[in-house]
Amino acid sequence: MTKDIWLNLPVKDIQKTTDFFERIGFTLNNHAPKSDAMASFKIGQRDFIINFFSEEVFSSFTPFKIADLNDKTECLISIDAESATEVDEILAKAEAAGADIYAKGGEKDGWMYGGGFTDLDGHKWNVLFMDFSKFKQ
């Protein structure tokens, strides 16, 4: 069976990406190399790894073109927050760091609170707090 899973994303500028994600509270992964071509972060209590690679390096991993994310998305990366307040805090930090907020924090279906932002390279992020005790079966 597999040992781990991580996400690799292409970015235009490693330093700007590093600054952005440090400002919203992600932890730099000190077990991975940091260079002009790569930055790695640990996210969440389980230390999910997201590696950001320069577009040039990322392109060497696959024969496929990097998607133009200006008005599209390749996936929705979700962050599980501990409260509605934390959702709003993360969105505020992301906006202050230069993100576009595409959905302000708000309640949905009586048990979920969330919002979303687009990072500096167009990747879409969803921040959610889910109170399953209020989920209607």
Residue that finishes a domain, picked among 9, 40, 62? 62
Q: Are residues 15 and 53 in the same domain?
A: yes
pLDDT in tens, 2-23: 788 899 999 999 999 999 999 9
Tell me which residue range forms the domain holding 12.
1-62
Provide the domain count of the chain: 2
pLDDT in tens, 48-69: 999 999 999 999 999 999 999 9
- H or E segment at 100? strand 100-108
Cα angle 97, 80, 37; round to 5 = 50
pLDDT at residue 65, rounded to an integer: 94
pLDDT in tens, 109-136: 889 999 999 999 999 999 999 988 888 8
Q: Could you give the C-alpha distances from 6 to 46, 77, 85, 120, in angstroms and in order? A: 12, 12, 27, 20
Work out the burial of residue 20: count CB atoms within 10 Å of its CB; fewer than 13 is exposed, 13-18 middle, 19 or more buried: buried
pTM: 0.91
